[in-house]
């Protein structure tokens, strides 16, 4: 039996990038999916997964920053599938700007989507998980904020570090009620978000910015979205039944080197 068979998973930011990778892994392992995204193209991604894996999927166009929309998305999923066993809180945004030029609107945009969006998703699914007797929540944090940061990421880093706090508190709060809560701390994967960051960093030659990221990763490359999907599938499945409150770094070794010049490599 595939490791997510019989599970219903709600995945936010599911249209492209990591959300697409997570949805692909969940479909491959037999989960039923509630794919949520701001973009209606989420339906195209779902259609591909239905064809490729025969997955049962509904899509919901919703803004994670809007609590009522997330409550409605979860309710729609439960109406269709009867329960929600896993929530992958993946939707997030990143805009770069020097701190002195970063507007309060930019700050609030990150807080609304990255923090309140995850908060709203948890709020929407937890009542169902409590009623069912358990569940698993997987939160997309980042190495950015909690471990490292690049210039221009003040708003993004602030919000991603906050998600580690939310992960730990919810993990403790719901441990006895069988809801596990863990977060991923990804380095860089090649997604539309990172392609946009590359343009903001080096408008003349964005590909050079991507190549520079890879050059500073010991494994010599960025993550593929499906590799992050595999981690989310593990954390959503019963294979990770004793893991809660964990922050799992998945970065090809990017945060390991003390220097890039000393040593025998």
Separation CA 66–CA 117 (nearest Å): 7
**Angle CA(192)–CA(5)–CA(43) in degrees, nearest 5?**
35
Is 156 a residue of the active site? Answer: yes
Catalytic residue among 26, 53, 156, 174: 156
Say which residue the tokens 């990770």 belong to. 240
19 binds ligand NAD (CB under 6 A): yes
Q: Which of 113, 115, 170, 210 binds ligand NAD (CB under 6 A)?
A: 113
Using alpha carbons, select from 40, 61, 163, 159 the residue that is nearest to residue 106: 159
191 binds ligand NAD (CB under 6 A): yes
31 binds ligand NAD (CB under 6 A): no
Separation CA 195–CA 163 (nearest Å): 23
Q: Which of 90, 120, 167, 201 binds ligand NAD (CB under 6 A)?
A: 90
Burial 70-84 (b: 16+ CB within 10 A, else e): bbebbebbbeebeeb
138 binds ligand NAD (CB under 6 A): no
Q: Which of 32, 33, 59, 92 binds ligand NAD (CB under 6 A)?
A: 92
In the bound complex, what is the minimum distance in angstroms from residue 215's beta carbon to ligand NAD?
16
Q: How many helices (H) and strands (E) does the chain have?
A: 9, 7
Catalytic sites, residue numbers: 156
Residues at the interface with ligand NAD (CB under 6 A): 12-13, 15-19, 37-39, 63-65, 90-94, 113, 117, 140, 142, 186, 188-189, 191-194
């Amino acid at each position: 039996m595939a490791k997510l068979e019989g599970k219903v998973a709600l995945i936010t930011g599911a249209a492209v990038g990591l959300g697409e990778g997570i949805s692909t892994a969940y479909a491959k392992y037999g989960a039923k999916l509630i794919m949520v995204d701001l973009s209606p193209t989420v339906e195209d991604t779902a259609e591909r997964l239905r064809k490729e894996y025969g997955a049962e999927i509904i899509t919901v166009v919703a803004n994670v920053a809007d609590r009522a929309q997330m409550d409605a998305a979860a309710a729609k999923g439960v109406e269709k599938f009867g329960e929600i066993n896993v929530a992958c809180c993946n939707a997030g945004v990143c805009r770069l700007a020097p701190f002195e030029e970063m507007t309060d609107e930019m700050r609030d945009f990150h807080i609304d989507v990255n923090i309140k969006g995850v908060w709203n998703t948890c709020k929407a699914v937890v009542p169902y998980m409590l009623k069912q007797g358990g569940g698993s929540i997987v939160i997309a944090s980042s190495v950015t904020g909690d471990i490292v940061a690049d210039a221009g990421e003040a708003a993004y880093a602030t919000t991603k570090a906050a998600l580690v706090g939310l992960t730990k508190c919810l993990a403790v709060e719901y441990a006895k009620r069988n809801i596990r809560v863990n977060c991923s701390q990804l380095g860089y994967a090649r997604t539309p978000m990172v392609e946009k960051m590359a343009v903001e960093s080096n408008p003349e030659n964005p590909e050079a910015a991507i190549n520079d990221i890879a050059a500073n990763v010991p494994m010599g490359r960025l993550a593929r979205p499906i590799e992050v999907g595999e981690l989310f599938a593990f954390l959503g499945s019963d294979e990770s039944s004793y893991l809660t409150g964990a922050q799992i770094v998945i970065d090809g070794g990017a945060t390991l080197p003390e220097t890039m010049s000393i040593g025998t490599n």
